[in-house]
Amino acid sequence: MDLPVEVSPEEAHAALAGEGAYLLDVREPWEWAERRIPGAVLIPLVELPGRIAELPGDRDVYVHCRVGQRSRRAVDYLRGSGRPRTVNVAGGIDAWEAAGLPVTR
């Protein structure tokens, strides 16, 4: 199955809950300290090229940032690096929280 490049926060939440997908947060540590999505793993965008091996190859990886721009760049990079099972969470954590999905502060 081909994954879309981008999905809504609700679609990502369903994939995380039902399919055991992996959630990658590419924001900065100070942003993570303010609020985060439970279960997300932080790898700041600038560190991603050196840490790509930390991502699972056998699961779909959903990527988020604050509003969706950095995560879209991360997905483009990851797909270009042979990681087709990566998906951008549209609108980032801002849209996630606006949708009423869980956030830890």
Residues labelled catalytic? 65
Dihedral angle over CA of 14, 5, 80, 37, nearest 10: -40
Residues whose CB falls within 8 Å of the CB of residue 15, separated by 6 or more in sequence, listed in order: 7, 21, 60, 62, 87
Tokens of 7: 């999905």
**The length of the chain, given as a count of residues:** 105
